[in-house]
């Protein structure tokens, strides 16, 4: 088992979980800031956005996790509820909080919301791909029992041996899925007159929703609601919404192409 603590300076612990999230964030900010001028958005706007959005997203991710894992916290202390350094944040909660703030931010800065979303979507996807490895180090967000994981490198296989059995490395499946989605977006957005304004964002929504729907079905630690896990229901909403918006916006003749 890999020690979840990467570095320790006296009483101060720096966990791999935090390092993975911060690494993903820094790469996402760099890529978004580099792409922003293409849509006539200042790099400083990207930096200003992330300064506020990141802590809000962490808070949203934790609130979402606690709400849908209330049985773990209802008899505990308030400090236990906010102890994110021990793991336990839900990406959907972070996305919801970040999206709500983005709407406020773009309107306040007089930036076209869809343009900002289009430069952010691929960066968010690669950040999620990296961030999922935090679950690996914490041995959380894994799937059901499997006979063996011989197709995986030894360090992953050993880390997925939990409570006397090998577990589905769902963190890895989602990480790879997001990495493929990121690569596809980079390829598609280079094609002239292929993707219209907002369609990179909608591709992200549909791609991520599809992946999460199937991967969540393998997990054993999320809440059920009417036969499906809560995150699966939300994934279905994302996929359907993304397809409907794509069809609606594709018919509009006045939308600019991302790459003209």
E strand or H helix at 228, and its extent? Answer: strand 228-229
Q: What is the pLDDT of residue 221?
A: 66
Model pTM above 0.85:
yes
**What does the pLDDT average to over 244-252?**
90
Q: What is the pLDDT of residue 16?
A: 92
Residue 219 bridge partners (DSSP): 143
Domain limits of the chain?
5-184
Q: Which among 90, 91, 95, 87 is positioned nearest to 140, based on CA atoms?
A: 87
DSSP conformation class of 225: E
User: 90-94, 110-114, 195-199: which has the minimum mean pLDDT?
Assistant: 90-94
Number of H helices, E strands in the chain: 11, 7
190 is in an annotated binding site: no
**What does the pLDDT average to over 99-125?**
96
Crossing angle of helices 91-109 and 113-131, in 10° steps, is 150
DSSP conformation class of 219: B
What Rg value do the Cα atoms of the chain yield, rounded? 19
**What does the pLDDT average to over 192-207?**
93
**145-172 confidence digits (pLDDT tens):** 998 899 999 999 999 999 999 999 999 9
**What does the pLDDT average to over 184-208?**
93
**What does the pLDDT average to over 6-29?**
91
Q: Which among 130, 129, 133 is positioned nearest to 4, based on CA atoms?
A: 133
Task: Please check the confidence at residue 188 and state whether its pLDDT lies above 80.
Answer: yes
Q: How many CA atoms lie within 13 A of 235 on its CB side?
A: 17
Crossing angle of helices 43-67 and 91-109, in 10° steps, is 140
Cβ atoms of 223 and 67 within 8 Å: the answer is no
Q: Which among 101, 123, 130, 152 is positioned nearest to 22, based on CA atoms?
A: 130
C-alpha to C-alpha distances, 123 to 157, 183, 185, 197, nearest whole angstrom: 29, 11, 10, 17
Q: Read off the pLDDT band of 228 (50, 70, 90).
A: confident
Average of per-residue pLDDT values in the chain: 89
- The DSSP secondary structure of 110-157, one letter per residue, reads T--HHHHHHHHHHHHHHHHHHHTHHHHHHT-S-B-EES--TTS-HHHH
Q: Are strands 165-167 and 224-225 parallel, antiparallel or unpaired?
A: unpaired
């Amino acid at each position: 088992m890999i020690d979840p603590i990467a570095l320790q300076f006296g009483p101060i612990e720096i966990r791999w979980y935090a390092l993975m999230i911060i690494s993903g964030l820094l790469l996402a900010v760099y890529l978004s800031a580099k792409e922003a001028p293409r849509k006539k958005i200042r790099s400083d706007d990207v930096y200003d956005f992330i300064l506020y959005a990141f802590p809000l997203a962490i808070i949203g991710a934790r609130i979402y996790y606690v709400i849908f894992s209330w049985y773990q916290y209802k008899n505990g202390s308030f400090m236990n509820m906010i102890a994110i350094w021990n793991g336990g944040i839900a990406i959907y909660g972070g996305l919801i909080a970040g999206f709500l703030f983005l709407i406020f931010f773009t309107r306040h800065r007089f930036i076209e919301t869809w343009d900002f979303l289009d430069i952010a979507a691929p960066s968010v996807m690669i950040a999620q791909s990296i961030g999922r490895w935090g679950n690996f180090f914490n041995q959380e967000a894994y799937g059901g029992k499997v006979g063996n994981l011989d197709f995986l490198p030894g360090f992953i296989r050993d880390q997925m041996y939990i409570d006397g059995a090998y577990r589905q490395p769902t963190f890895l499946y989602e990480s790879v899925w997001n990495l493929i989605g990121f690569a596809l977006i980079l390829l598609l957005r280079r094609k002239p007159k292929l993707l219209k304004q907002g369609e990179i964002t909608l591709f992200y929504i549909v791609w991520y929703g599809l992946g999460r729907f199937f991967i969540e079905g393998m997990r054993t630690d999320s809440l059920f609601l009417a036969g499906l896990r809560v995150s699966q229901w939300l994934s279905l909403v994302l996929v359907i919404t993304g397809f409907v918006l794509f069809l609606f916006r594709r018919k509009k003749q006045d939308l600019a192409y991302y790459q003209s």
